[in-house]
Amino acid sequence: MTRIPVLANAPADPTNYGDRYATDIYGRPVNNALLVVLHETVGSASSAVNTMQATHPNEDDQVSYHSIIKRDGTVIYVVAPEKRAFGAGNSVFNGANGPEAVKTHKDFPPSVNNFAYHISLESPPDGDDSAQTHSGYTSQQYQSLAWLVAWTNVPADRITTHREVDRSGSRIDPRSFDTQQLIAQLQNYWRDTAQQ
Ligand SMILES: [Zn+2]
């Protein structure tokens, strides 16, 4: 059984995202396939939206996800999928064909942002701290996440987490994430697609 989530729009301020580049800063063409990167908000979804809707002239403060999934399963679109959201600053994806990252800025390390679709799950109230774990995500969140991931058409081996791709040593999100629950939900969509 699959269902379409409630959808909402909360566009980010343009300082918090950019265009996807066709070449890296050395002029080499880049053509990485899309990668889904999962995060959590730590604070509330509305607090994350406020941050992304604020103007951030300082590059160090610029941050965004493409979408946020609230506790009730509502999907909030923040940055258009064709744009480059600033979700994982210093990051590398270890793909089937080796490490993937693109350097797009002379002052910042390479990252997966150029080919990432960043999705952030609203953390539970007991996750509003720096503990290693919390009570996890709602079944509505897993259902909406599966719907959204299915929509991206990204295969299972290109779904990853901020924790996995982070190279700063400081990111552990999404904490208490149940990969099996996502895969179980995704089976419904993959089965529907196979039957079409
Ligand atoms: Zn993150």
Q: Please give the full DSSP string across 121-177, using - where no structure is assigned.
A: EPPPGGGSSS-S--S---HHHHHHHHHHHHHHT--GGGEEEHHHHB-SS---PSTT-
Q: What is 35-62 written as a DSSP string?
A: EEEEEE-SS-HHHHHHHHHS---SGGG-
End-to-end CA distance of the chain: 15
Q: How far is the CA of 87 from the centre of ligand 1 (A)?
A: 6
pLDDT at position 58 over 70:
yes
Residue-level pLDDT at 116: 98
d(CA 157, CA 154): 8
Residue-level pLDDT at 1: 58
Q: How far is the CA of 53 from the centre of ligand 1 (A)?
A: 17
Q: How far is the CA of 42 from the centre of ligand 1 (A)?
A: 9
pTM: 0.96
Residue-level pLDDT at 3: 80
d(CA 160, CA 3): 23
Q: How far is the CA of 162 from the centre of ligand 1 (A)?
A: 5
Contact 159, 92 (CB under 8 A): no
Average pLDDT over residues 126-154: 96
When the pLDDT of each residue in the chain is averaged and rounded to a whole number, the result is 95
Q: How far is the CA of 40 from the centre of ligand 1 (A)?
A: 6
Q: How far is the CA of 174 from the centre of ligand 1 (A)?
A: 7
Average pLDDT over residues 175-183: 97
| Domain extents in the chain | 7-195
**Where does the pLDDT of residue 189 fall: very low under 50, low under 70, confident under 90, or very high at 90 and above?**
confident
pLDDT at position 101 over 70:
yes
pLDDT at position 63 over 80:
yes
Q: How far is the CA of 70 from the centre of ligand 1 (A)?
A: 15
Q: How far is the CA of 118 from the centre of ligand 1 (A)?
A: 8
Residue-level pLDDT at 194: 67
Q: How far is the CA of 129 from the centre of ligand 1 (A)?
A: 14
Q: How far is the CA of 47 from the centre of ligand 1 (A)?
A: 15
d(CA 40, CA 23): 30
Q: How far is the CA of 98 from the centre of ligand 1 (A)?
A: 22
Percentage of the chain surpassing pLDDT 90?
A: 93
Q: How far is the CA of 169 from the centre of ligand 1 (A)?
A: 12
Average pLDDT over residues 68-79: 98
Highest mean pLDDT pick, 113-117, 129-133, 189-193: 113-117
pLDDT at position 87 over 70:
yes
In CATH terms, the superfamily for domain 7-195 is Peptidoglycan recognition protein-like (3.40.80.10)
Average pLDDT over residues 130-139: 96
Chain segment 15-38, per-residue pLDDT in tens: 999 999 999 999 999 999 999 999
Q: How far is the CA of 39 from the centre of ligand 1 (A)?
A: 4
